[in-house]
Amino acid sequence: MSVADALVDLLPVATADRLAGHLTPGDVETLRDLVRAAVPDNTVRAVVSDLAYLEAWHRAARGAPLTWPPADSDGLAFIAHHLFRAEERAVRGDGYGMPAAVEAALMAEGMLRTPLPHAPATVARRLASWRRIAQLRGSDEALSSNTVRRTLAAARKAADRPRQRHSQTAVTRALLDRMVGTDPPPHETLALRELRDRTLLLVAFATGGRRRSELGHLRLERVVRLEADGARGTPLVDAPAHVSAAHGLAIVIGRTKTTTAEDDAFLVVTGRAQIHLEAWIAALQAVRPGTREGPIFRAIDRWGRMGEGALSGHAVNAIVKARAARAGIDPVRISAHGLRAGYLTEASLQGVPLEAAMRHSLHRSVQAAVRYYRDQERAAGRAARLAG
């Protein structure tokens, strides 16, 4: 692959050609690595999955591979095939929505796994992935016309499909207590896995409902003691094991979905979550003496041996479901995201101001956070009880 070809992964074609003579292959590989590192793994997986679906759909609907740049007509056809009104299709037949032959082809390939029409958010995400790849190939205006945008907006309004929550059940404080227990346990008698799982859930909830991917990225060397004035002090690994951080702990989180390392964002851990976290770190260091850095939450195999690698997002989700099942909660209705939804729901129930809850949870979008407050206000308010 030439330097110019490699640069197309990063820049529009014209810019790549202009810069190709000024950058070495090593420069390009460094830049590509930086770009890859800046994009969350989940985003990369989503784009790859979307591109595979789009390719299969285009072959079935157009009889040819994806073409670049994509035409507006392709984007409009994609919307029409996936966001039609189901009741109208039953009346109008095969000429409305996705043609039966296209649907059959996608099902045969294993690409179409859910009933049509699809969720508006899914269609919007796939169009965004298509647009992103087109832009990397030098087509900045691909699928960005007013026609495509207005059609998508109209289709979203017309869709009669309730928004699906990531977790049907929000893990509020009451559910959390059922999943981890309420009494401060004698940590020295807990099995390693039990202590890790309790700590994981408590820290996730207490820090505002951390995303499952973020929990795996929390680092041992970034846990510091909080001083009386709120300033961050020495790393916990530098403190004597028997001395608790009297004013709480802070965990510097670095890069996440909504933050960068330059933001210097950190999580505050106090109370029950702090007690468990200190106990878990002490247990980790007892199993692996001299450990001063690396992931806080690590994989433990079936024989109880702790590894060096971090828990994956899938592992975090599995732990949440397993703890829910043990507590008599339907695991199908709950996921790791329930901790994030549960924190905001509990904050609303406890009368915590939205702004304060968002500061703690690190939500940037008021629209995303306020929904939980409005749901609780409607459920608990007098307006819902006027009929007696």
User: Contact, 302 vs 274, CB < 8 A?
Assistant: no
pLDDT exceeds cutoff 60 at 313: yes
pLDDT exceeds cutoff 50 at 42: yes
Q: What percent of the chain has pLDDT over 70?
A: 77
pLDDT for position 349: 82
Neighbours of 211 (CB within 10 A): 22
User: Contact, 374 vs 347, CB < 8 A?
Assistant: no
Which residues in 236-250 are b (16+ Cβ under 10 Å) and which e? beeeeeeebbebbbb
Mean pLDDT across the chain: 80
Mean pLDDT of 61-72: 90
User: Contact, 100 vs 173, CB < 8 A?
Assistant: no
> Among 27-36, 122-131, 297-306, 323-332, where is mean pLDDT lowest?
27-36
Question: Tokens 């329930």 map to which residue?
Answer: 338
Cα R_g (the chain), whole angstroms = 25
Q: Tell me: the pLDDT tens digits for 169-188?
A: 888 888 999 999 876 655 56
How many helices (H) and strands (E) are present in the chain, helices listed first?
A: 17, 6
In eight-state DSSP terms, residue 219 is: B
pLDDT for position 303: 85
User: Contact, 64 vs 136, CB < 8 A?
Assistant: no
Mean pLDDT of 109-117: 88
The structure tokens listed for 254 are: 């670095």
pLDDT for position 19: 64
Q: Tell me: the pLDDT tens digits for 124-172?
A: 999 998 998 888 777 888 999 999 999 999 988 887 665 655 557 888 8
Distance from C-alpha of 56 to C-alpha of 71, rounded to nearest angstrom: 17
Distance from C-alpha of 277 to C-alpha of 370, rounded to nearest angstrom: 30
| Alpha carbon of residue 344 to chain centroid | 16
- pTM comes to 0.65
Q: What domains are there in the chain, each with its CATH number?
A: 39-158 (1.10.150), 173-379 (1.10.443.10)
Residues 6+ positions from 63 with CB-CB distance below 8 Å: none
pLDDT exceeds cutoff 50 at 386: no
Mean pLDDT of 239-250: 72
**Bridge partners, 14 (sequence order):** none
pLDDT for position 383: 47
pLDDT for position 12: 57
